[in-house]
Amino acid sequence: MTDNLKGYLWGITAAAAYGTNPLFALPLYGRGMSPDSVLFFRYLLSLPVIACLLKAQASRQRFSSCIRFSSR
Residue 56's pLDDT is what? 87
Would residue 68 be called left, alpha or beta, if left means φ above 0 and alpha means ψ between -120 and 50 degrees?
alpha
Separation CA 10–CA 69 (nearest Å) = 29
The confidence score (pLDDT) of residue 57 equals: 84
Q: What confidence score (pLDDT) does residue 47 get?
A: 94
Q: Note the pLDDT of residue 40.
A: 96
Mean pLDDT by 10 residues, the chain (72 residues): 92 94 93 95 92 85 58 50
- Alpha helices per DSSP H over 20-34: 21-30
Give the model's pLDDT for residue 58: 81
- 42: nearest Cα among 32, 34, 30: 34
